[in-house]
Amino acid sequence: MDKQLIKKLSLPIIVLLIGLGIISFFTFIFVEIGEDLLAREIRTFDSAIIDLLKTIETDTLDQLMIVITELGSVWFLTTLSILVILILWFAAKDKWGITTFIVAVAGGGTISKVLKHYYNRERPSINPEIDAIGYSFPSGHSMGSLIFYGFAIYFVARSKWSKAVKWSFAILSIILIFLIGISRVYLGAHFPSDVLAGYLAGTVWMTLCILALEWSEWRTKYPIRPFRAIQRFFIRRFRDN
């Protein structure tokens, strides 16, 4: 019984520890960037990336970047989110997945707005046509796209599709997330550090939501109170010895 209990508890505990490690690491980097917005290193980093992108500017690339940046816009991600929710409902009746996904996407947008108003960083340029209004840090496009497409990768990874499909979808989604961030800098909507901060904040929030979903589904599958179970296990061991 004890061995079975340990086997059931080991995986969620390992996942929890890895998740907490990721959250701690990315939170630390985000805080460091936020505190050093005006530091010379951040300004140098931003200037180097912006100057590099200016060297490849063309009219064709301008139009392509406008299309790419729309793939991370609020209206587009909202539309895709509704589609994902419908798929999760009709294909799997995944109530926990739907609830967590909604919290992740909506919560990510709220967190982005709160952080923007906290740091009050002005944008490199204002352009309402590409959603370049309001404060700059962190990038809402970068954060929102990472949360949405990251969750999409997670759902596909849990599906019964082939490994080839799963890997192809993950790679293409990661490339898209990266390109959306690049498009924001290329179009002058954000500094590179805004995009990096958006990725970091998005990773932290997405990881928290996925951990919550995994924990909830594990509790549903195994009706065990984890901490009480661990406590009982060690009490038994202590008594036996």
pLDDT tens-digit series, residues 174-187: 999 999 999 999 98
User: Residue 240 domain-assigned?
Assistant: no
User: Residue 208 domain-assigned?
Assistant: yes
User: How far is 216 from 162, CA to CA, in rounded Å?
Assistant: 26
Whether residue 169 is predicted with pLDDT greater than 90 in this model: the reply is yes
Q: What is the 3-state secondary structure (H, E, C) of 36-62?
A: CCCCHHHHHHHHHHHHHHHCCCCHHHH
**In this structure, what are the phi and psi dihedrals at residue 127, rounded to the nearest 5 degrees?**
-150, 95
User: Residue 129 domain-assigned?
Assistant: yes
pLDDT on residue 229: 46
- Structurally, the chain folds into a number of domains equal to 1
DSSP conformation class of 72: T
Q: pLDDT category, 5, cuts 50, 70, 90?
A: very low
Whether residue 206 is predicted with pLDDT greater than 70 in this model: the reply is yes
User: Residue 235 domain-assigned?
Assistant: no
pLDDT on residue 234: 44
pLDDT on residue 68: 94
Q: Locate tokens 């959306």: which residue?
A: 180
Taking only the tens place, the pLDDT of each residue in 49-79 is 888 998 888 889 989 999 999 999 888 999 9
Q: Which of 4-18, 128-142, 145-159, 197-211 is predicted least confidently?
A: 4-18
Q: pLDDT category, 13, cuts 50, 70, 90?
A: low
Taking only the tens place, the pLDDT of each residue in 20-59 is 666 666 676 666 666 666 567 788 888 888 889 988 888 8
User: Residue 236 domain-assigned?
Assistant: no
pLDDT on residue 147: 94
Which residue range(s) make up the domain with 124? 2-226
User: Residue 115 domain-assigned?
Assistant: yes
User: How far is 171 from 153, CA to CA, in rounded Å?
Assistant: 9
Whether residue 209 is predicted with pLDDT greater than 70 in this model: the reply is yes
Helix/strand/coil for 93: coil
User: Residue 87 domain-assigned?
Assistant: yes
User: Residue 148 domain-assigned?
Assistant: yes
pLDDT top residue among 173 and 13: 173
Taking only the tens place, the pLDDT of each residue in 104-160 is 999 888 888 888 888 887 887 766 666 667 788 888 899 999 999 999 999 998 888
Q: pLDDT category, 239, cuts 50, 70, 90?
A: low
Strand positions, DSSP E, 35-173 = none
